[in-house]
Amino acid sequence: MCDTMLVLGSLTRDGRSYFAKNSDREPNEAQYLTRVEAATHAPDARVRATYIDLPQVGRTHACLGSRPWWIWGFEHGVNEHGLTIGNEAVWSRLPAGAGPNLLGMDLLRLTLERACDADEGLEVLTGLIEAHGQGGAAALTREMVYHNAFLLADGRTGWVVESAGRHWVAKRVTGWATISNVYSIGSDYDRISDRAEAFATAQGWHEAGTPFDWARAYTDTTRANLPSCRARLAMSRAKVEGLPKGEIGLGEMIEVLRDHGDAADWSPGGDGQACVCMHGVRADLGSETAASMIVALPAQPDAPREIWASLASPCLSGFIPLWLDCDLPHDWTQPEEITDPDQWWDIERLQRLIEPDYISHASALRAQFNGMIHKARAELALAQNADSATRNVITQRTARAYREIVDAALQDHADRPQSPDARGPYLADLNRAIPRTTRSVREALALHPSHP
């Protein structure tokens, strides 16, 4: 489960395009920042994704992404040329393949490594889909397979791409777009794979001779979670559509990612799966927001891309600034061993302490993170056109402030009695099943291509 959105520069305050995504995953699935350096490869080189290997290209681009701890690919990311992509799980009448193949996250990372902009990204991504298809277990502790939708962006344009097996459809973004875990492209597509319509017609999903509607033809209407997926798409669309055009910037995009709807007294409960900022309700079913990213994309291809990353649910977290040419905070990357610093699990533990008393404590924590963000933005404003060394100082200083907020809050909440959780045994069930999410465990899993 995820929500991804793009506002092009013609509608923003500073002329930059803003990409934003919440990555919603299994509640105990840690997610870490990963940077990949540019590289050249031998003609016969191959690259290993989560389950399969495939031919490598001669040159791959540097990129930075957010990666579920056991997966090779990215939930969202950006490369050195400014191409930025997020993906979504979608479900089709065409069954998704359970056998080892490319996950949507793998397709995303491969495209970042191989394409320079959104237009080239469309060609690379759809070429991979047609050549290899997609599939494989997309969750570690549950049975879950799905097809994928993607939002590709650069500083000038964007594409929504939706797929089913090796079929796909694409629509160019005009102004703004949001996508969620449901097909949204109807008959208003700009590109479509060669046999998508013919295949749907042969299956009886489309009547020949009538305008072809991708979503109507391919959507699996029997999915139990379809109403909540549609609700989140409607929520993100309403939120972005309601933003003041010409005044949209980082702060507005953060608020979209933190959205729970209109209720002033909202707290985690039965409707958590229908919110853009997603909170889990059952340990064995559903998702919660595991990580978020906002990327400010200038139209100039040589200008730095400003990346803002957050861990866990954004309503109980803050965003720190990053750049591809700066060091990642060490505790935001995957730990080698269980004793290494791990900011994802620190903020996740804090979230689990606060959620039962959300109304009493969430706003105060959020205010501290907002102050941290405001200070980082003020430093950036004073350091316009700063070199990478100066930007790196701001990144590390903000990450340190984030760590101090979390550590102090953990200490403050550790001994407080908790109120009963409206979700019953949810948190206790999660805490009994916390996995080791270290690099060494991931490497052991990768030795078995059929896993899980």
Q: Which helix (H) or strand (E) holds 377?
A: helix 358-382
Listed in sequence order, the residues at least 6 apart from 352 whose beta carbon sits closer than 8 Å to its beta carbon are 427, 430, 431
In the structure encoding, which two tokens stand for residue 276, read together? 């853009």
Is 315 assigned a catalytic role?
Answer: no
Q: Which helix (H) or strand (E) holds 162?
A: strand 158-164
**Which among 2, 63, 277, 315 is annotated as catalytic?**
2
d(CA 102, CA 88): 14
d(CA 257, CA 289): 10
d(CA 74, CA 291): 11
In the structure encoding, which two tokens stand for residue 8, read together? 């092009």
Q: Which helix (H) or strand (E) holds 34?
A: strand 31-36
84 DSSP β-pair partners: 78, 153
Q: Which helix (H) or strand (E) holds 374?
A: helix 358-382
d(CA 44, CA 226): 44
Residue 269 vs residues 325, 424, 426: alpha-carbon distances, Å: 41, 10, 10
> Would you please indicate which residues are annotated as catalytic (active-site) residues?
2
